[in-house]
């Protein structure tokens, strides 16, 4: 069976899916048409039901829940891994509402968390996540919400942290922060959904057998990133929740969905 599959080129996703899409494990007769895209592109495609299996921001879940269901394996969820609000200089939280803020996509969990923390801040500018640091540096925006590997590089560029959005969520809710998950279209038979879920779990287990060595697949899609940063990225965003969301992970997702519905 041939299935379309979308995920980001970031090290956490390529680490998880490497064995699956490169036939390092037995795929049980499944083949995959793989699309590597920025998560906001994948979010927008999901609104159209474009891909059969896709990485999505949990923030878009409410908008696609009639078409997609969440798989247990492959998620980015944990503690101390949330997006950061950064600027060139310290700014009080009271002043954030009056600033122009760069966000990495309207449907991203980063934007949702920012909206929860600063509901009065409405002057937002959507940008590709990798462009936000420079936009803050050159004054295009006053501050920016950064994700992925940028949380490891912003200090090197002289930028300062105004708030850790994940820490805010964890402090106010007590739950780990759900960032993104792997979703599958509901029109795919339940037996196939379960098989795909098991294959993603197996693919990640296979990746761990060679870690901390990085595969050429992971490195090829993170060419501008130092290997140490790739490992930091994987260590932060890939964990036991990635193998299986479990009760705690699913409860955290439900809590985020309930909060999103109230906004």
Active site residues: 148
Tell me if 19 is assigned to a ligand binding site: no
For residue 35, give Cα distances in angstroms to 214, 219, 257: 21, 17, 27
Tell me if 56 is assigned to a ligand binding site: yes
Tell how strand 177-185 and strand 76-78 pair up.
Answer: antiparallel
Tell me if 73 is assigned to a ligand binding site: no
Count Cα neighbours of 213 within 13 Å in the Cβ-side half-sphere: 5
What gap in Å lies between CA 248 and CA 186, rounded to an integer?
A: 24
What gap in Å lies between CA 220 and CA 22, rounded to an integer?
A: 13
DSSP state of 107: T
Tell me if 59 is assigned to a ligand binding site: no
Contact 112, 79 (CB under 8 A): no
What gap in Å lies between CA 196 and CA 230, rounded to an integer?
A: 26
What gap in Å lies between CA 203 and CA 99, rounded to an integer?
A: 43
Tell me if 89 is assigned to a ligand binding site: no
Q: What angle do CA 85, 87, 93 make, to 5 degrees?
A: 60
The two structure tokens encoding residue 230: 């790739």
Q: Alpha helix locations (H) across the chain?
A: 11-21, 39-47, 61-64, 109-117, 132-137, 165-173, 190-210, 216-220, 227-237, 240-243, 246-262
Residues of each annotated binding site: 55-57, 109-110
Residues of each annotated binding site for substrate: 55-57, 109-110
């Amino acid at each position: 069976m041939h299935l379309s599959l979308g995920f980001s080129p970031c090290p956490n996703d390529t680490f998880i899916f490497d064995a699956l899409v490169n036939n390092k494990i037995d795929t049980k007769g499944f083949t995959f048409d793989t699309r590597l895209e920025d998560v906001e592109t994948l979010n927008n495609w999901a609104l159209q039901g474009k891909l059969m299996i896709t990485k999505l921001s949990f923030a878009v879940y409410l908008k696609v829940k009639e078409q997609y269901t969440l798989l247990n394996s492959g998620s980015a969820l944990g503690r101390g891994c949330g997006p950061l609000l950064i600027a060139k200089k310290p700014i009080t939280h009271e002043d954030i509402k009056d600033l122009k803020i760069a966000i990495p996509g309207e449907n991203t969990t980063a934007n949702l968390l920012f909206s929860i923390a600063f509901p009065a801040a409405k002057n937002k500018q959507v940008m590709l996540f990798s462009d936000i640091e420079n936009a803050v540096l050159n004054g295009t925006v006053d501050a920016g919400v950064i994700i992925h590997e940028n949380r490891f590089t912003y200090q090197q560029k002289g930028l300062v942290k105004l708030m850790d959005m994940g820490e805010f969520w964890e402090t106010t809710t007590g739950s780990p922060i759900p960032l993104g998950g792997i979703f599958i279209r509901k029109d795919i038979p339940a037996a196939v959904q379960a098989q795909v879920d098991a294959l993603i779990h197996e693919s990640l287990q296979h990746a761990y057998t060679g870690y901390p060595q990085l595969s050429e697949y992971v490195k090829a899609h993170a060419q501008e990133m130092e290997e140490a940063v790739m490992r930091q990225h994987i260590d932060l965003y890939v964990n036991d929740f990635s193998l299986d969301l479990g009760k705690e992970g699913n409860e955290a997702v439900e809590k985020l969905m309930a909060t999103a519905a109230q906004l």
